Amino acid sequence: MLKKTAFALLYLVMAAMGAATFVEKFHGTAFARLHVYGSAWFVLLWTALALTSVAYLVRRRVRRASVVALHASFVLILIGALLSHLLSVRGSIHLRTGETASTFTADDGRGGTTTARLPFALRLDTFRVVCHEGTDAPADYVSHLTLTDGGRSLPARVSMNRIFTYASTRLYQASYDADGRGSVLAVNRDPWGTGVTYAGYALLFASLLWMLLDPRGRFRRLLRHPLLRGGLVALALVALPCAARSATVLPEQTAARMGRLYVEYGGRICPLQTLALDFTRKIHGSDSYGGHTAEQVLLSWVFWSDEWDAEPVIRVKSRALRQLVGLDEYVPFRTFFTGRGGNYLLGPLVMQYYAGQRDELHKAAAEVDDKLQLVFALRRGTLFRVFPHTAGGRTRWYAPTEALPAGMERPCSLFVRGAFNRLNAEAGRADFASFEATVAQLAAFQRQYGGRSLPSPAAVRAERAYNALPSLAWLWRLDLAAGLATLVFALWQLAGRRAGRRLAAAVRYGSAGLLTLSLAWLSVLLVLRGIVSGRVPMSNGYETMLLLAWCTQLVALAFCRRVRLLAPFGLLLSGFFLLVSSLGMMDPQMSPMMPVLASPLLSVHVSLVMMSFALLAFTFLCGVAGLLMPALGRDRAAGHRQAEALRVLSQLFLYPAMALLGAGIFTGAIWANVSWGSYWSWDAKEVWALVAFLFYAVALHDASLPFLRSPRSYHWYMVAAFSTVLMTYFGVNYYLGGLHSYA
């Protein structure tokens, strides 16, 4: 009875948390916090789960130290959370420059606020937004303060991911005033909860590692399982170009030389080639058009806009939208403005979209409108912020049509105003030698006035190499095709069909070779992307999908010799993840990281979670294959043995996946505490990651739950469990939203 109660409470907790994310979606964060996460019944539910779980462990007389330590860590974390809930005080303080305050606005726990006293007085001396060199993209927010405690005064500095702590009170940079003369600081006074919770985290990390290394533990016994010796099965393998019309273009070499200029784009300084590629990809859906490079498309549209307005470059992906307004898939720019009286063809749909109609048809119209606005920005010249100017130690970049600073020297301002006029005249008379000479003068101007904002030569070389790489479309197609072919071959063999040794060897080594090629290609891409952006590439949805594909390939390649079924699994999963990254739901553009994300804890957190998701994806495929085995084979007994072998393999993935997911979730909690002053915010992604962790944790309790010892039941459970991973990543990103949403 105690066992049933404990697991029933566990599922009830998971159901309550999952339902609360939808309550928050429809009723708001404040409502969910007040009626669910901060309610007495929710606290009592967690308390009952903790007490019944401890009682069950005591009754079973569990003596394995790693298991006891793991469960004790969760109890300690819950105690810390309860102490924080009951004893901590959180709020905020707003200071203007020169203003002193000794009170702050505190949350009363019921959705309201009250005034609380600080154990000291604070004065804001200065507030400063630190930008990335040469751009207006914020790199950090810094408040310089003076703290006074009695007759003692000391300086204090608070910035993103840098807490100031004094007398059990922690201050965090939260926001600032639009005029830059005021700062908002988050205040957190938690004398007991944080310490107890961190002790629980430390015990959790140690026990997860202990669980994997314990010689008598379940994971080490699985590694020695006889069903895994010698491998499960010997495996092995099985854009339509759009023709350009007669629009005039710059010579490819001339366009390429201009593509080497620098431009401020996306909050950073990069080669103009990058802007050209993003422009062409966004409006046309590919890296080129009609045999012309991206630089030729972008620059030719500048100098011969009337001709290029008639080119069918704009892609309309939505079939429903094309049918409604009578468009082809590729449409000239001017087509959208040839209605009655020259009206905008998509105008009514776009206005309805921004008025709140967000169905697929209106979203498609808004997507095309974004492409057209990009062309308008090109025609206005605002995309070409290629002229740097340094004043007061800060460099800013200007477009030729922008208002220039009053302090700019007259020769410089004359050059800025006249450079594109000269280029336009030289292009018009096809004097490309003079055109390239003007480009060389512009490059010299950038070197002279760009200052420290110019990227390093290594970063430029890396970015040009990155831009030269073909799109990932070929890679996901190759991985998916090879993965499907090898998986079919594997199922054919597992069903009792025999294949010749040469064919089997060819498939085996071919799949491993393709996996190696795919991993190497993706590794090069990620390394180059990291060099260009100056950070670990894992800060947005596109990058995390690439990282997840890379982790999947790495795991599959590392163990495919011992468990050969992993080769098709790895190819299939990596192809799927790369396909998702290429579907247009995610933006591959590189941009500076938000200040709050500039923490090494973020890299650790995302890496651990992505690796765990990759391993859990393997358990899903093991589940699918395990359910198919008995039905496909001629010998049902042999099929059941294969299903059992797949259950063992799935558990072999499950243990490290749970260790990585647990470490990743709670590393993220530490990062949140450093950044925002709260290690758990009940954000939708936090909640669903915890639901996934708890749901998969049940599968580790096959000693207590007999149904999990049946291969068929176990595989059904693991297939169902993967829905929590999909909800954690895709459901939150594209439906629920929240602090962690990449959508």
505 assigned to some structural domain: yes
Give the contacts of 633 (CB within 8 A, at least 6 positions apart): 494, 495, 496, 639, 642
The C-alpha atoms of residue 649 and residue 562 are separated, in whole angstroms, by 11
Domain's final residue, options 589, 612, 641: 589
- Considering Cα of 624, then 630, then 632, then 638, what sign does the dihedral take? positive
467 assigned to some structural domain: no
DSSP string, 137-151: -EEEEEEEEEEEETT
Specify the pLDDT at position 539: 65
pLDDT classification of 297: cutoffs 50, 70, 90:
very high
Say what the alpha-carbon torsion angle 343, 346, 348, 352 is, to the nearest 10 degrees. -150
**Is the CB of residue 294 less than 8 Å from the CB of residue 280?**
yes
Provide mean pLDDT across the span 233-246: 35
By mean pLDDT, which of 271-280, 294-303, 564-573 is the weakest? 564-573
In this structure, the answer to whether residues 336 and 394 fall within a common structural domain is: yes
In this structure, the answer to whether residues 428 and 568 fall within a common structural domain is: no
Residue 190: pLDDT above 80?
yes
The C-alpha atoms of residue 56 and residue 49 are separated, in whole angstroms, by 11
Q: Is 528 exposed, middle or buried (0-12, 13-18, 19+ CB in 10 A)?
A: buried
The C-alpha atoms of residue 128 and residue 143 are separated, in whole angstroms, by 7
Provide mean pLDDT across the span 289-308: 91
Taking CA 679 as the corner, what is the angle to CA 676 and CA 683, rounded to the nearest 5 degrees? Answer: 85
The C-alpha atoms of residue 304 and residue 300 are separated, in whole angstroms, by 6
Domain's final residue, options 428, 454, 480: 454
742 assigned to some structural domain: yes
Residue 298: pLDDT above 60?
yes
By mean pLDDT, which of 48-52, 237-241, 512-516, 537-541 is the weakest? 237-241
- Structural domain of residue 530, as residue ranges? 472-589
In this structure, the answer to whether residues 439 and 539 fall within a common structural domain is: no
235 assigned to some structural domain: no
239 assigned to some structural domain: no
Residue 590: pLDDT above 60?
no
Provide mean pLDDT across the span 564-591: 69
In this structure, the answer to whether residues 143 and 57 fall within a common structural domain is: no
Assign residue 104 the CATH number of its domain.
Answer: 2.60.98
pLDDT classification of 652: cutoffs 50, 70, 90:
confident
Show the tokens assigned to 364.
């498609």
The C-alpha atoms of residue 258 and residue 461 are separated, in whole angstroms, by 16
Position with higher pLDDT, 533 vs 635: 533
113 assigned to some structural domain: yes
366 assigned to some structural domain: yes
- Rounded to the nearest 5°, which phi and psi values hold at 215? -60, -30
In this structure, the answer to whether residues 263 and 164 fall within a common structural domain is: no
Q: What is the pLDDT of residues 16-42, one digit of tens each?
A: 999 998 988 888 888 888 888 888 899
The C-alpha atoms of residue 202 and residue 218 are separated, in whole angstroms, by 22
- Rounded to the nearest 5°, which phi and psi values hold at 89? -125, 125
* Percent over 70 (pLDDT), the chain: 86
By mean pLDDT, which of 146-160, 224-238, 266-280, 378-392 is the weakest? 224-238
Specify the pLDDT at position 217: 78
Domain's final residue, options 589, 605, 640: 589
In this structure, the answer to whether residues 584 and 601 fall within a common structural domain is: no
Show the tokens assigned to 213.
């290394």
C-alpha dist (Å) from residue 656 to 219, 267, 472, 697: 9, 39, 29, 12
Show the tokens assigned to 318.
């939505």
Q: What is the pLDDT of residues 407-439, one digit of tens each?
A: 888 888 899 889 999 999 999 899 999 999 999
Does residue 250 sit in helix, strand or coil? coil
Show the tokens assigned to 614.
């990759």
Does residue 512 sit in helix, strand or coil? helix
Specify the pLDDT at position 314: 93
Q: How many CB atoms lie within 10 A of CB 397?
A: 23
**Is the CB of residue 592 less than 8 Å from the CB of residue 540?**
no
In this structure, the answer to whether residues 167 and 300 fall within a common structural domain is: no
**Is the CB of residue 516 less than 8 Å from the CB of residue 482?**
no
* Number of domains observed in the structure of the chain: 5
Q: What is the pLDDT of residues 334-386, one digit of tens each?
A: 888 865 555 788 888 888 887 777 788 888 888 888 888 888 888 888 888 99
By mean pLDDT, which of 147-151, 357-361, 467-471, 676-680 is the weakest? 676-680
Specify the pLDDT at position 240: 31
Specify the pLDDT at position 300: 92
Maximum CA extent, the chain? 91
In this structure, the answer to whether residues 443 and 319 fall within a common structural domain is: yes
Specify the pLDDT at position 252: 92
Q: What is the pLDDT of residues 374-385, one digit of tens each?
A: 888 888 888 889
Residue 241: pLDDT above 50?
no
In this structure, the answer to whether residues 640 and 738 fall within a common structural domain is: yes
Give the contacts of 109 (CB within 8 A, at least 6 positions apart): 38
* CA Rg value for the chain: 30
In terms of pTM, does the model score above 0.95?
Answer: no
Specify the pLDDT at position 609: 83
In this structure, the answer to whether residues 287 and 431 fall within a common structural domain is: yes
Q: What is the pLDDT of residues 615-628, one digit of tens each?
A: 888 899 888 888 88
695 assigned to some structural domain: yes
The C-alpha atoms of residue 327 and residue 319 are separated, in whole angstroms, by 9
Residue 563: pLDDT above 70?
no
Q: Is 604 exposed, middle or buried (0-12, 13-18, 19+ CB in 10 A)?
A: middle
Specify the pLDDT at position 496: 53
DSSP state of 377: H
By mean pLDDT, which of 233-247, 568-582, 590-604 is the weakest? 233-247
In this structure, the answer to whether residues 410 and 279 fall within a common structural domain is: yes
The C-alpha atoms of residue 479 and residue 627 are separated, in whole angstroms, by 24
DSSP string, 413-455: HHHHHHHHHHHHHHHHTT-HHHHHHHHHHHHHHHHHH-GGGSP
In this structure, the answer to whether residues 709 and 571 fall within a common structural domain is: no
